[in-house]
Amino acid sequence: MYIPKHTRVEDEATLFAFLERYSFATLISTSGGHPTASHLPLVLDRENRCLMGHFARANSQWTDISGEEVLAIFHGPHTYISSSWYETNQSVPTWNYAAVHAYGQAELIEDEAELLQCLNEMVAKYEEPGSAYRIDDSNRDTIDGLMKGIVGFRIRLDRLEGKWKLSQNHSKERQALVISKLEQSSSNNAQEIARLMRENNA
The Cα angle at residue 50 between residues 49 and 56, in degrees rounded to 5: 170
pLDDT of residue 91: 85
pLDDT of residue 101: 98
C-beta of residue 62 within 8 angstroms of C-beta of residue 55: yes
Verdict on whether the full-model pTM lies above 0.95: no
- pLDDT tens digits, 110-137: 999 999 999 999 999 999 988 888 888 8
| List of domains in the chain | 5-170 (2.30.110.10)
pLDDT of residue 192: 97
Residue 180 CA to chain centroid, in angstroms?
Answer: 27
pLDDT of residue 87: 82
C-beta of residue 70 within 8 angstroms of C-beta of residue 106: yes
H helices present in the chain, as ranges: 12-21, 112-126, 140-147, 172-183, 188-201
> Strand, helix or coil at 58?
coil
pLDDT of residue 94: 96
The Cα angle at residue 105 between residues 49 and 42, in degrees rounded to 5: 55
pLDDT of residue 139: 87
pLDDT of residue 32: 86
11/101 Cα distance (integer angstroms): 14
pLDDT of residue 58: 96
10-residue stretch averages of pLDDT, the chain, 202 residues long: 96 97 97 94 96 96 95 98 88 95 97 92 91 85 91 98 96 94 96 95 75
pLDDT of residue 52: 97
